[in-house]
């Protein structure tokens, strides 16, 4: 039973906020010290059925609502999220163990930013076009079931809901029960908007219960899922009978290629920053560094110095550069990979098994991982093939660019990659050879208006930008008289 003095997340169904039940709730832990800071209330298949019925009933009227009127609700939500940035940031720090500036600028900042160009992009996607005698239009997909991951819970909830709703879809979303507090705060702000009942429902719960009920429901028109490859496969199997469309983002094992003329002063801190981004828990992390063999010694020396400056500790402590991972389960999983690397004889440059040294009092029960780098790793090694989802970098030496590209493409994944060279055209030429949905070239920044998604077993479809919005529509062509 959840203690009465700790928050319990609930549900939003058919315009009604429903309290979570303490008896069935899942504990939410502060990763910096292991303390319980709240509970995730769990829904069930009956609540899913109620939410889907409300969404189905609301969809025709919402689709007929002009884009400008739909966007007025979302603009109001954006304003509420921006006004609540301070409190949302504190929730993100507490439940995710992230440094304050990162929590505010990335987690909260991107949640607000994904709403800023939405009307312009939606208008472009929905604009009819002529193709000879045909009039081609895009219409809402219908009822979208969305399921989010725990590593960006606030941004994913806002992005998946707003993208679908802007285009005239209705949404039933299951947030992660692992890290639900900031997402629930954003849901409560959404409930203040007086949207037509059923346009958006949020049902908390576990994947095997609420997620499975959503995926299997015959009234769901499409599924938007971010999470593991294993769950993505189960979704595809479950929807085969109904041919339900899906957009799946299933992670990556992403390479960073330093070409022989790469600017190491710029490239190495950026690659390490990507690997340790979100405390190492991001699907797009550049976790494989591929370098010319002639540069291996210099790269190793520089990495050792950079990691030495990456102090792991509590997110609000002075000097901390890397916070904890989100849970004891995740800590043990990442530590298991590190031990496997050591046990198999990989050359350890920095980090290794065990908690970081010098943790302050009160942090012993936190979920800390030492930032770790292994070098000269065989490309077929477990650590080079499997998504670790923690602050662990593997370094691979190659004899020429062709071998670098082959190593980069030599996994089942294909989400992101990066290429570094003093010559932009050369970087772009190599980027065109990489099997990845998005490639960072010479340190280019993240763009919420660009499509994001993967190839191979990193998933299908795209999110963000025009291409991502188009996934949430169906195409109709009308053949007019000549």
pLDDT digits (tens, 9 = 90+) for 212-251: 999 999 999 999 999 999 999 999 999 998 899 999 999 9
The pLDDT of residue 2 is above 60:
no
CB-based burial, 402-437: b 16+ in 10 Å, e otherwise: ebbbebbbbbebbbbbbbbbeeeebbeebbebbbbb
Longest dimension (CA), the chain: 79
Q: For residues 230 and 250, what is the distance between their CA atoms, to the nearest angstrom?
A: 8
Is 405 in the same domain as 465? Answer: no
Give residue-wise pLDDT tens across range 403-428: 999 999 999 999 999 999 999 999 99
Structural domain for 139, as ranges: 8-251+459-479
Burial class of residue 443, CB neighbours in 10 A (0-12, 13-18, 19+): middle
Is 171 in the same domain as 296? Answer: no
Check residue 24 and give its pLDDT: 75
Is 317 in the same domain as 220? Answer: no
The question of whether 386 is a catalytic residue gets the answer: no
The pLDDT of residue 164 is above 60:
yes
Q: For residues 383 and 348, what is the distance between their CA atoms, to the nearest angstrom?
A: 12
For residue 69, the tally of other CB atoms under 10 A from its CB is 9
Is 242 in the same domain as 311? Answer: no
CB contact set of 293 (below 8 Å; sequence gap of 6+): 397, 398, 399
Q: What percent of the chain has pLDDT over 70?
A: 99
The pLDDT of residue 358 is above 70:
yes
Check residue 272 and give its pLDDT: 98
Which is the catalytic residue, given 116, 123, 131, 249?
249
Is 406 in the same domain as 467? Answer: no
Check residue 191 and give its pLDDT: 98
What CATH number is attached to the domain comprising 282? 3.40.309.10
Q: What is the distance in angstroms between the CA of the first residue and the CA of the last residue of the chain?
A: 69
**Of 308, 299, 381, nearest in space to 351 by CA:** 308
| Domain assignment of residue 141, yes or no | yes
Give residue-wise pLDDT tens across range 34-88: 999 999 999 999 999 999 999 999 999 999 999 999 999 999 999 999 999 999 9
pTM of the model: 0.97
The pLDDT of residue 430 is above 70:
yes
Q: What is the DSSP letter of 139?
A: E
Please provide the DSSP assignment of 175-244 as one string. --SSS-HHHHHHHHHHHTT-PPTTSEEE----IIIIIHHHHH-TT--EEEEES-HHHHHHHHHHTTTTT-
| Domain assignment of residue 454, yes or no | no
Q: For residues 26 and 99, what is the distance between their CA atoms, to the nearest angstrom?
A: 25
The pLDDT of residue 4 is above 70:
no
Is 180 in the same domain as 45? Answer: yes
Q: For residues 40 and 22, what is the distance between their CA atoms, to the nearest angstrom?
A: 8
Check residue 20 and give its pLDDT: 87
Q: What is the DSSP letter of 150?
A: S
Is 302 in the same domain as 422? Answer: yes
Strands 16-18 and 347-350: unpaired
What CATH number is attached to the domain comprising 226? 3.40.605.10
Arithmetic mean of pLDDT, 460-466: 97
Q: What is the mean pLDDT of the chain?
A: 96
| Domain assignment of residue 1, yes or no | no
Q: For residues 145 and 169, what is the distance between their CA atoms, to the nearest angstrom?
A: 10
Confidence band for 482, pLDDT divided at 50, 70 and 90: confident
Is 19 in the same domain as 164? Answer: yes
- Look at phi and psi of residue 459 and say left if phi exceeds 0, alpha if psi is from -120 to 50, else beta: left
Is 139 in the same domain as 204? Answer: yes
The pLDDT of residue 307 is above 70:
yes
Confidence band for 23, pLDDT divided at 50, 70 and 90: low
| Domain assignment of residue 453, yes or no | no
Is 297 in the same domain as 148? Answer: no
Check residue 255 and give its pLDDT: 98
CB contact set of 273 (below 8 Å; sequence gap of 6+): none
Check residue 158 and give its pLDDT: 98
Is 148 in the same domain as 237? Answer: yes
Check residue 3 and give its pLDDT: 56
| Domain assignment of residue 150, yes or no | yes
The pLDDT of residue 18 is above 70:
yes
Burial class of residue 44, CB neighbours in 10 A (0-12, 13-18, 19+): middle
Domain count of the fold of the chain: 2
Check residue 22 and give its pLDDT: 55
**Residue 185 phi, psi dihedral angles, 5° rounding:** -60, -40
| Domain assignment of residue 197, yes or no | yes
The pLDDT of residue 433 is above 70:
yes
Is 202 in the same domain as 302? Answer: no
Check residue 5 and give its pLDDT: 85
């Amino acid at each position: 039973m959840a203690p009465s003095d700790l928050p319990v997340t609930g549900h939003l169904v058919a315009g009604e906020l429903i309290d979570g039940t303490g008896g069935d709730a899942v504990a939410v832990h502060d990763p910096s010290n292991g303390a319980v800071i709240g509970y995730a209330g769990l829904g069930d298949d009956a609540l899913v059925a109620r939410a889907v019925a409300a969404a189905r009933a609301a969809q025709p009227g919402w689709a007929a609502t002009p884009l400008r009127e739909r966007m007025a609700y979302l603009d109001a939500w954006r304003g509420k999220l921006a006004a609540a940035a301070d409190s949302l940031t504190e929730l993100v720090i507490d439940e995710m163990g992230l440094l304050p500036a990162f929590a505010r600028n990335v987690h909260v900042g991107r949640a607000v930013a994904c709403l800023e160009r939405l009307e312009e992009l939606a208008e472009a996607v929905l604009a009819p076009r002529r193709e000879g005698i045909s009039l081609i239009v895009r219409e809402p997909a219908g009822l979208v079931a969305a399921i989010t991951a725990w590593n960006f819970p606030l941004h994913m909830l806002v992005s998946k809901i707003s993208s679908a709703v802007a285009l005239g879809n209705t949404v039933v979303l299951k947030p992660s029960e692992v890290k639900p507090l900031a997402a629930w705060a954003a849901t409560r702000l959404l409930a203040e908007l007086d949207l037509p009942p059923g346009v958006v429902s949020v049902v908390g719960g576990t994947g095997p219960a609420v997620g499975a009920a959503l995926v299997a429901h015959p009234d769901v028109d499409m599924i938007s899922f971010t999470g593991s490859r294993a769950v993505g496969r189960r979704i595809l199997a479950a929807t085969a009978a109904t041919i339900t469309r899906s957009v799946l983002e299933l992670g990556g094992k992403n390479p960073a290629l330093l070409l022989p003329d790469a600017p190491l002063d710029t490239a190495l801190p950026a690659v390490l920053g990507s690997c340790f981004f979100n405390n190492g828990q991001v699907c797009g992390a550049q976790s494989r560094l591929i370098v010319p063999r002639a540069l291996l010694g210099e790269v190793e020396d520089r990495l050792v110095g950079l990691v030495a400056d990456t102090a792991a500790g509590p997110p609000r402590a002075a000097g901390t550069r890397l916070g904890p991972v989100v849970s004891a389960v995740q800590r043990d999983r990442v530590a298991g990979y590190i031990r496997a690397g050591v046990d198999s004889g990989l050359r350890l440059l920095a980090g290794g098994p065990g908690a970081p040294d010098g943790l302050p009092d009160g942090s012993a029960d936190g979920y800390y991982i030492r930032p770790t780098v292994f070098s000269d790793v065989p490309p077929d090694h477990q650590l080079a093939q499997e998504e670790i989802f923690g602050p662990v970098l593997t370094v691979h030496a190659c004899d020429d660019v062709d071998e670098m590209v082959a190593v980069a493409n030599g996994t089942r994944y294909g989400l992101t990659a990066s290429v570094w060279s003093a010559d932009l055209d050369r970087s772009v030429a190599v980027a065109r050879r990489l099997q990845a949905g998005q490639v960072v070239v010479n340190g280019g920044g993240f763009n919420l208006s660009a499509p994001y998604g993967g190839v191979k077993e990193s998933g299908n479809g795209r999110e963000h930008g025009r291409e991502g919005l188009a996934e949430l529509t169906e195409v109709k062509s009308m053949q007019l008289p000549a």
